[in-house]
Amino acid sequence: MSDPTPNPLDGVRVVDVSSFLAGPFCTTQLAEFGAEVFKLELPVVGDPLRKFGSVTECGETLPWLSECRNKKSATLDLRKPEGAELLKRMVRDADVLVENFQPGTMEKWGLGWEVLREVNPRLIMVRISGFGQTGPYRGRPGFGRIGNAFGGLSFLAGYPDRPPVTPGSATIPDYLAGLYGALGTLLAMQAREKTGRGQVVDIGLYEPIFRILDELAPSYQLNGYIRQRMGPGTVNVVPHSHYPTQDGRWIAIACTSDKIFARLAEAMGVPEYAEGGKWETLAQREAERAIVDEYVSDWTSTMTRDEAIATCEKFQVPCGPVYAIDEIFEDPQYKARENIKWMKDPRVGELAIPNLVPRLSETPGEVKWLGPSMGAHNDEVYRDWLRLDEAEIERLTSLRVI
């Protein structure tokens, strides 16, 4: 019988002292592809993510069960000197440490970068905070909502005559920061292969948001253009929005070029509007954005959503349904790609969670278990890894160090 396919990060040991979402999502991605992640939580209290979101019958929340999968949980109070010393012992044997406290917190506990790299020069330390480790705002607390706002995304979300709205989810910056944290970890590991040294990966929650806003920065610098809220519309391209259908649903249509609009015009039965017509070029359509969008809306409103999608696909016009979560569960594309992972857990029974991304053909990674119960792996950490004897474990437990 052949050996099971190894995961890309088999043998990588990660210590996760972060909380809530950004740091934990970073380590979850590493754990999904083979890293051994030890999630350290404050004794008795635990990670705040355990209390955030919908609470299940077992007392754990859905975000905890889904977003802290594949990790091993142990309790440790880093604020106490004995707890700090135990962390240093772990760091000696670790590849990566992830934290997302306010800058200066780890230093206050005697666990800053300068200390930890003396313990282990090969350590990679991922530091995610509201505004990063430097700058005049470094000490400010930050959550995802603040990252959306400070990063420039919230200002663009909504309609021009109404206040800015939440751009889909207040936690987008947490997930993106976690994603960049995982990317930074892999880059730092690659560099370590060449230099033998670890380094710090430093991310502010707002920075991934600012990074993904396409031409927002260069357009302002070159042209003084301050993009405003456009509802479902998109700057620089028309029609490129959400359009109503006869059955009370919505379809997304994206005409990103004149050629694609020509195909849409043919689908709508007005090819003369494109080639040589009044809306042939983007500039012409941009000048009459509201009229173009209204025309497309009137057309899509004559069909059900499925009919509109079928017509667009016939003419090779990029389109898609604007889905609610119940429709996602029924969609055959999601089923074929196994984008929803069904997990069985003794605490909650069967639970549906988002599956792994990205999809690797040879070393695909896996979800082994959902977010663990608090302290479920204390014995593995303190007895098996750090070789503490029973008397010492009992003493540290009584002092609530672990």
Mean pLDDT within 310-326? 98
Contacts of 276 (CB under 8 A, 6+ apart): none
pLDDT at 348 over 70: yes
The catalytic site residues sit at 174
pLDDT of residue 3: 56
Mean pLDDT within 174-188? 98
Mean pLDDT within 295-316? 98
pLDDT of residue 6: 86
Res. 5 pLDDT band, cuts 50 70 90: confident
pLDDT of residue 1: 43
Q: Express each pLDDT in 226-248 by its tens digit.
A: 999 999 999 999 999 999 999 99
Among residues of the chain, what percentage have pLDDT more than 90?
Answer: 98
Q: Express each pLDDT in 349-402 by its tens digit.
A: 999 999 999 999 999 999 999 999 999 999 999 999 999 999 999 999 999 999
> What is the end-to-end Cα distance of the chain in Å, rounded?
42
Mean pLDDT within 324-342? 97
> Cα torsion for 278, 280, 286, 288, to the nearest 10°?
20
> In this structure, are residues 40 and 17 in contact, taking their beta carbons and an 8 Å threshold?
yes
Task: Give the DSSP letter string of 121-152.
Answer: TT-EEEEEESS-SSSTTTTS---HHHHHHHHT
Tell me the two tokens of residue 283: 């500039």
Q: Which domains does the chain have, with CATH numbers?
A: 13-211+338-398 (3.40.50.10540), 240-244+250-321 (3.30.1540.10)
Cβ count within 10 A of residue 102? 15
Q: Residue 229 — φ and ψ, nearest 5°?
A: -65, 140
Mean pLDDT within 337-356? 96
pLDDT at 114 over 70: yes
Of 37, 26, 68, the closest CA to residue 345 belongs to 68
